Structure 1
Amino acid sequence: MTCPPRPTGPDDEPPTPPPSPEASDVLAVAVGNASLLGVGYLLMGRPVLFWAAAMVTVPLLWMTASVAETWCELLLLLWWAAVVAHGWLLARRRQGGPRLGRRLLALGLTVPVLLAAGLLRLDAHGIEDDVTEAREDGDCEAVTSAQDRVRFGHRIAAAPVAARGDAVVDACERLGRAEHELTTGLNGDLGGLDSGFRLLASVLEDPGNEKTVRASLDRFLGRLPTGNACDTVRITDWLRARKTGRNILDRSFDTASRLAPAALVGCGDDLADTQSWPQARARYERLLEEYPDDGHADRARKGIRKAVLALELEHVEELVRATNGMTSGYCAKPAKYTGAPARRKGTNRALFLGDDEYTGKLPGGWRTTDPEKAALVVCAGPPGFGSAVETCPYRNDETREITNVTFRKVEVPVKVYELRTGERLANRKVQIDGSSCPTLFLTYGGVPSDKYVTPSDADVRDAFSSVVGR
């Protein structure tokens, strides 16, 4: 038995099949994807693929710009080729006829992108050439000026090239810091010299920086010697003691060796001007020891002579100030002053020390307080009784007793030294004569049995003439 057909209604209509994918122009898709913008996927009506491609392309571009290594560029190039090939193969599955509008759209987007990338890459290499030329000239200012032309587009299209320029600029910045440290070293800051040379050495380790390092070093060495000779000595000493590295920095040793003699003698002169005689003498002696054949040797010898005389004079003056009698100061430890006048025939001027009761009565032409003008140093002790001259009777007005009084010469012990050599010439006693047996004399506590004669200035002069004469 056959069942009658069931009547159909609107709800029983068969479902509508989904629309078939639109046919694609293979060339338009491939060219569109060549822009790295995913345009080919949009032309195929595949927005999901467009966004998926963008999520890979953007990080790759960012990595290429930030890492700036050749392998990043190769990876980006492989991705570009993969996107183009994928779009080509995918479009061929639903290949349709040529579509001029879509091809023109793809070309309108891709050609400017590729052309911009090519021009930016070409310009980046031009900038690199300018940077290299400036570096070869040792001109860091020109290096920085050239690299300042690099823009973000250059860092996308030619990241490694831009990075090489950045490295040169970085080297120049380190050289700038090195020159700043070396400038502080010109004021005698040896720490600044050490820091500066370390920076120069670190820049020199990178290939291609020889000319810029040389220029920085030349600027530093060209500022030597400094206005302070003693600072220059410290700098040249440091440069000569610096461990060599068998590179262009070792030129500083030759410069230091050339400048050191003049710096040493100049420092000695400056120290002599401030009467720092031991330090001045040490600088002069270093010059003769290290550079005996240098043209400044005679000047150093004169400086040593001047320093030696000054030191001798200082020592003598110190001893003179410390003298308080025959057993102290110069009288106890005589010293030479080779700048003193030579002892000559006739009367020699002398520096009289010790008891001056009688030496103070000598003529002014015989005495001096300036060691630089004295040929002799005479140490005088306290006076005592010398030889008897005459004995006379005197009566004490109170007791009416008669006492014989012996009048004696004034005996002054003296030591005589030649100041020029510090040698003792005499150690004796000077007898000063004078008048004796006056009619009256005043006394306290009785009549003494011994009494000094009364010397005149002429008597004192006669007694000491043999001391200061020759």
Structure 2
Amino acid sequence: MKGRTVDETTPREPHDERPREVGGEPVAVPPSALGSERRPEDSESADSESDADSTPRPADTEPVAPFEPDTGPIPVQSPTAAHTAGTGSETVGDVPLGPAPVHWPQPEPTPPPAVDPLAAALGNASLLGIGYLLLRRRWLAVLAFLVTIGYLLVSALVVRNVFFHLVLVLWAGALAWHGWRIAAKSGQVPSPRRQRVIGVAAVLPVLVVVTLVRVDAAGIESDSDAARDGGDCDKSVAEVARLSFAHRLADPPLVARGEHATATCQRLAASAASLKTGLNGRHAALDQGFTGLAGLLKDEPAYDNVVRHVLDDFLAELPKRENCEVADVTQWLRDHRPEGDLLGRAADVVPGLQPKALLSCADSLLARQSLQPALTRYKSLVAMYPNHELTPRAKEGAQKAQWAIELAAVRSALGTSTGRPRYCDAAPPYTAAPPHAPPGRAYVAGSSEFTARLPAGWVVDDVANATVVLCVGPSGEGSVAKSCPYIEIGGLRRRSTVSFHRIAVPVRAIELTSGRVLSDVTLEIGGATCPEFLNTSTVGDVKEKVVPTDADVHAAFAPLVSR
């Protein structure tokens, strides 16, 4: 093996065996540990030096540079590893030796900084965990901040009452106390002014912002209450709509009161809408509206002015409605007087509005031939206000309506179809007609074969102008007026006897005003008999009808019409 030669005449630099500093601390290095720092090249040099002792060194051999010790950090090794060299393991006796572990010294933990207790308390009182940040307790700061945010959200959106909101103040006090306690153990701060400024800078903006938001919310609530007390629920709701999410966080109970005010106004608006619908005379809507107002007054006495405003609008609109609608509404108010002084005054307007409305409604119904409703209105006015100045007119109207109803019943019974009218068997009275007396006026129902020949003054076309109704049936054969012999002309000149019969007409006379039957007879109308010539195809006894003149017809019907 070829090795480097070392000039032994050059004195070696002494190895510095003084204690080294590792990581700022002195470390003692045993001499045996230095041997483990030999490099392979040093081993070869050592072999070469041993060969040089026996072999003369040539004169031209270059001198080897003197040994330069490694100035890097020297690891501390255990005594058992002092004989270890290179990277392989060696054995000393029967004990195997491995690479020596390196023990680096650990730095001592940095003590927490000293924090002024007041600064820490003020920082934590902000609910943002600033005091924990001063104390280098970051996880506590994050936890405090998250708990605060969560509590604010629950307080703003779920549990919005005063007691739950006051717990937030207790939470701020607990954080301040905990920060003070931890800071008190951190040591005395020579100059706490800077830390206290930080604490004040943390809590003061929170207090200012919360105070300003709460003051703004209180102003909005005051404006809403003023609008409500003035009877303007719409303006009250508009004021509540100004509340934002910031107001929810700063004063949840106030926002809850605002939302309750909005719900109450919506409830009131529903009752007002029902009353407006009830102005058409719908009793169900009136009942719903007044029931809603009564319930709202019971639950929310502070809304009496708003209820009064709604009722005033209702009562102001009522006289402007159509007469029949006013009559219906006032009738409901009369029958269902609302309870309480506030709502009860709605019934106080009834005497001033109802009589005129009833009369005007009945007149319009009568003009439209709505006879039964008109009669009902007239009778209601007479019954409820017997001494009112409009009562005589109502009585007259009721009589007219009653007559119109009776006349309609008579006309319906007479009908327009052919055949025997229903009136002839069950005649309804028409009390407006005068009693039947001469000179009577007849309305003919049934056959008009002979009644058409009556004088114009005897018969009328409209039953309303009649005094008697004649139910006339089809004519038939009456009694024999005269029998005459006849001889056939030409042929066998046979003899025949011809009987001339009067004309039989069944007639029922019914008095129009009472509907009673005056007479139920079969009239016999006479006439000319035994003409000089008679055309007939029958031989033997023959039956013929007389030939009545107008005078004959008049004479037959006169007792029924003019008696």
**TM-based fold match above 0.5:** yes
Q: Which residue is 1:84 aligned to?
A: 176
Contact 2:337 2:347 in 1 (8 A): no
Aligned to 2:204: 111
The one-character-per-residue Cα deviations of 1:284-320 (angstroms, maximum 9, x if unpaired) are: 3344344444555334433332332222222222332
1:38 maps to which of 105, 129, 147: 129
- Show the 5 A alignment for 1:101-250: 101-187=194-280, 192-197=285-290, 199-204=292-297, 205-224=299-318, 227=321, 235=329, 246=340, 248-250=342-344
Measured against aligned partners, the alpha-carbon deviations of 1:366-387 in whole angstroms (never above 9, x if no partner) come to 2222101212222334254357
Whether 1:337 and 2:433 are equivalent positions in the alignment is no
Contact 2:127 2:172 in 1 (8 A): yes
What does the per-residue CA deviation read over 1:217-268, in whole Å, with 9 as the maximum and x for residues that have no partner?
4434444368565555665565555595547444555556765555555554
Counterpart of 2:9 in structure 1 is none
Which residue in 2 is equivalent to 1:435?
A: 528
Asked if 1 retains the 8 angstrom alpha-carbon contact of 2:279 and 2:321, the reply is no
1:61 aligns with 152
Amino acid at match of 2:456: G
Which residue, 321, 324, 342 being the options, matches 2:415?
Answer: 321
Q: What CA distance in whole angstroms lies between the structure 2 residues aligned with 1:295 and 1:463?
A: 53
Q: Distance in 2 between matches of 1:16 and 1:402?
A: 172
In structure 1, distance between residues paired with 2:216 and 2:337 = 43
Tell me the residue number matched to 1:4.
none
Amino acid at match of 2:161: E
> Contact between 2:502 and 2:527, CA under 8 Å: does it hold in 1?
yes
Deviation at 1:322, TM superposition (A): 7.3
Once the two structures are TM-superposed, the CA of residue 53 in structure 1 deviates from its matched residue by 1.8
1:360 aligned to which of 452, 467, 491: 452
2:114 maps to 1:26: no
Of Structure 1 and Structure 2, the greater helix share is in: 1
CA contact (8 A) 1:264 1:287 kept: yes
Q: Distance in 2 between matches of 1:145 and 1:410?
A: 94
- Correspondent of 2:398 among 295, 304, 307: 304
Find the residue that maps to 1:208 and give its secondary structure. Answer: helix
CA distance in 1, matches of 2:289, 2:422: 53
Kindly provide the amino acid, as one letter, of the partner of residue 225 in structure 2.
Answer: T
**C-alpha distance 62-376 of structure 1, shift in aligned 2 (>3 A):** same
1:376-455 equivalences under 5 Å are 376-381=468-473, 382-386=475-479, 388=481, 392-397=484-489, 398-403=491-496, 405=498, 407=500, 409-410=502-503, 412-428=505-521, 430=523, 432-446=525-539, 448=541, 451-455=544-548
Residue pair 2:228, 2:303 contacting (<8 A) in 1 also? yes
Query: 2: CA distance between counterparts of 1:330 and 1:191?
Result: 42
Displacement after TM superposition at 1:30 (Å): 2.9
- 2:552 aligns with 459
Q: Aligned to 2:302, what secondary structure does the other structure show?
A: coil
Aligned to 1:8: 28
Report the CA distance between 1:350 and its aligned residue: 1.2
Please tell me whether residue 468 in structure 1 is matched to residue 552 in structure 2: no
Q: Is the 8 A contact 2:290 2:338 kept in 1?
A: no
Alpha-carbon separation, structure 1, partners of 2:501 and 2:534? 15
Contact 1:394 1:403 in 2 (8 A): yes
Contact in 1 for aligned 2:133/2:141 (Cα 8 Å): yes
TM-score (ref. length: structure 1): 0.83
Q: Which secondary structure does the structure 2 equivalent of 1:53 belong to? A: helix
Contact 1:63–1:72 (8 Å) recurs in 2: no
Shift of 1:134: 0.8
Instruction: Sort the Cα spacing of 1:20 and 1:348 in 2 relative to 1 into closer, same or farther, 3 A.
Output: same
Letter paired with 1:467: L
> Are the aligned partners of 2:415 and 2:421 in contact in 1 as well (CA < 8 Å)?
no
| CA distance in 2: counterparts of 1:71 and 1:22, whole angstroms | 38
**2:461 is equivalent to residue 369 of structure 1:** yes
State the distance in 2 between where 1:15 and 1:371 align: 132
Q: Shift of the alpha carbon at 1:136? A: 0.9
Mark the runs of 5 or more structure 1 residues left unpaired by the alignment. 1-6
Over aligned residue pairs, what C-alpha RMSD do you find? 3.6
Per-residue Cα deviation, 1:61-83 (whole angstroms, up to 9, x for no partner): 22332322111232111122222
Deviations 1:129-168 (A, max 9, x none): 1111111112112102211222222222222122212211
Which amino acid in structure 1 is aligned with residue 124 of structure 2?
A: N
Residue 465 of structure 2 aligns to which amino acid in structure 1?
A: K
Structure 2 gap segments, 5+ residues each = 1-26, 30-74, 77-102
Q: Secondary structure at the match of 2:201?
A: helix
Q: Which has the higher contact order (CA 8 A, sep 6+)?
A: 1
Partner of 1:49: 140
* Equivalent position SS for 2:486: strand
Query: Which stretch has the larger CA shift, 392-401 or 69-78?
Result: 392-401
Distance 2:394 2:250 in 1: 67
| C-alpha distance after superposition, 1:307-342 (max 9, x if no partner) | 3222222222233237877x7633333332223355
Measured in 2, the distance between the counterparts of 1:49 and 1:380 equals 116
The one-letter amino acid of 1:120's match is V
Q: CA deviation at 1:50?
A: 1.6
Closer/same/farther in 2, CA of residues 136 and 312 from structure 1, 3 Å limit: same
Counterpart AA for 1:90: I
Q: Percent identity?
A: 37
Deviations 1:370-407 (A, max 9, x none): 1012122223342543574x654422335534455565
Conserved? CA contact 1:178–1:197, under 8 Å: yes
Mapped to 2, the partners of 1:207 and 1:380 lie a distance apart of 77
Alpha carbons of structure 1 residues 433 and 37: separation in structure 2 relative to 1, 3 Å: same
**CA–CA distance in structure 1, aligned partners of residues 411 and 106 of structure 2:** 130
* SS of alignment partner, residue 408 of structure 2: helix
Higher Rg: 2
* Alpha carbons 1:131, 1:143 under 8 Å: kept: yes
Contact in 2 for aligned 1:184/1:192 (Cα 8 Å): yes
